[in-house]
Amino acid sequence: MKQKRFILSESELPKQWYNIQADMPNKPLPPIHPATKQPLGVDDLAHIFPRECCVQELDQEHAFIDIPEEVQEKYRYYRSTPLVRAYALEEALGTPAHIYFKNESVNPLGSHKINSALPQCYYAKQEGTTNVTTETGAGQWGAALSYAASVFGLEAAVYQVKISMQQKPYRSSIMRTFGAAVTGSPSMSTRAGKDIITRDPRHPGSLGTAISEAVELATTTPNCKYTLGSVLNHVAIHQSIIGLEAEKQMEMAGEYPDTVIACFGGGSNFGGIAFPFMRHNIKDGKTTEFIAAEPESCPKLTRGEFRYDFGDEAGYTPLLPMFTLGHAFKPANIHAGGLRYHGAGMIVSQLIKDGLMHGVDIPQLETFEAGLLFARTEGIIPAPESSHAIAATIREALKCKETGEEKVILFNLSGHGLIDMTAYEQYLNGDLMNYKISDTDIQNTLQSVPKV
């Protein structure tokens, strides 16, 4: 069995990120203030986030943005990441499709999150910030941020979703090894946390509760900025490094993708691999299909509504225009912790409305079955999140088997699963199940969306 890898030399590494906002036929709607309903500007956001991130967030003009030299230097520790032709997986499926994956699991932190953690901490440091805070679900973002904070000499405080902390204990050890302070959310350390625990003492935590707590800490602590690992536009800009490299690597392979697939939590790894290729759909008439694979138990892309909703459970954040299940949505305890968020990013939400991409829902058991096949053929144990992308890829490859089409499919392997072995253990023991959510439940949680 063969495996073919494509790597870029140092001089071929991208020196700019791609900002799809500049090229979108319809721009994303602006975030708005919950009370005044006025669109927010850079100054409104800059008391929470590093200012440069706010500038990028609202930049609908510049398609390419320079990567600071210091960030490029840290990228070179692990980039480029390999683009791999998955011959063994193709063979196992008996498909005529050509399957490629971009391997974002090969950095010391094990997921794509580090691509945005580095610039966010770099900009925070440049502005004289001493502390950064954030939330983390499965723990990949918290781990990446803790590392990036230590690289640029910042103190990090991380709120980790309680249920994920119990399911994935090693991730908090990783964060603490890099010097971060880690607290399970909801906690009694913030007003938001206390309110949530008072209402529901057994709340398992969600990205929504953890965001509320981290935002509260950032806005009540001097010299402390909040950072976010997904959902927002500037995160998708930083992650474009994935697709920009993949574009060059596909060229080395002599192919261009017919289909690009990534798993979907808030949209950062999806946007990262997809947007540089989508640019050619918008500008050059290419017809690549873009598929975002979300969990059946958290189906905001396919069954949510396009509304202005809060990004967090307590309602502290600005209102964001997005496909949402309602900010009070409590996802089932699936093992893909990074995909348990109630809403989609603003860019992706607009792109779905405009028909430039679409979502697909994958049941939990199918994702693990796909993960196992991938591990046994390609030798990499994927993160449960990434297994959603693999499952969607397998579906497409099997369609090709029926039609005989030699489609070129590219998917993003967003991370490895070596710290998720409890999940694999449960799957192998037959202890996992699917969680399908009913229309009535969705209608109920949508009641939490404010009327704008």
Counting contacts by CB under 6 A, is residue 116 touching ligand PLP?
A: no
**CA 31 to mean position of chain CA atoms:** 19
Element (H, E) at 150: helix 140-151
Q: Which of residues 228-247 bind ligand PLP (CB under 6 A)?
A: 230
Give residue for tokens 């404010």. Answer: 450
Shortest distance in whole angstroms from residue 113 CB to ligand PLP:
5
Shortest distance in whole angstroms from residue 267 CB to ligand PLP:
5
Angle at 96 between CA 91 and CA 97, to 5 degrees: 95
Q: Which stretch binds ligand PLP (CB under 6 A): 10-18, 196-204, 260-268, 436-444?
A: 260-268
Among residues 212 and 386, whose Cβ is nearest to ligand PLP?
A: 386
Q: Which residues of 405-429 are buried (b: 16+ CB within 10 A; e: fewer)?
A: eebbbbbbbbbbbebbeebbeebee
Counting contacts by CB under 6 A, is residue 111 touching ligand PLP?
A: yes
**CA pair distance 96, 285, nearest whole angstrom:** 25
Q: Which stretch binds ligand PLP (CB under 6 A): 55-63, 84-92, 243-251, 257-265?
A: 257-265
Shortest distance in whole angstroms from residue 188 CB to ligand PLP:
26
Residues 415, 432, 437, 445: which binds ligand PLP (CB under 6 A)? 415
**CA pair distance 182, 159, nearest whole angstrom:** 6
Counting contacts by CB under 6 A, is residue 142 touching ligand PLP?
A: no
Counting contacts by CB under 6 A, is residue 140 touching ligand PLP?
A: yes
**CA 178 to mean position of chain CA atoms:** 22
Residues 243, 276, 331, 338: which binds ligand PLP (CB under 6 A)? 338
Q: Which of residues 377-406 bind ligand PLP (CB under 6 A)?
A: 383, 385-386
Q: Which residues of 144-175 are buried (b: 16+ CB within 10 A; e: fewer)?
A: bbbbbbbbbebbbbbbbbbbbbebbeebbebb
Judged by phi (left if over 0) then psi (alpha if -120 to 50, else beta), residue 107 lies in beta
Among residues 131 and 164, whose Cβ is nearest to ligand PLP?
A: 164
Residue 251: CB atoms within 10 Å = 11
Residues 228, 263, 334, 380: which binds ligand PLP (CB under 6 A)? 263
The residues that touch ligand PLP, with contacts defined as CB under 6 A, are: 111, 113, 140-141, 230, 263-270, 338-339, 383, 385-386, 414-415
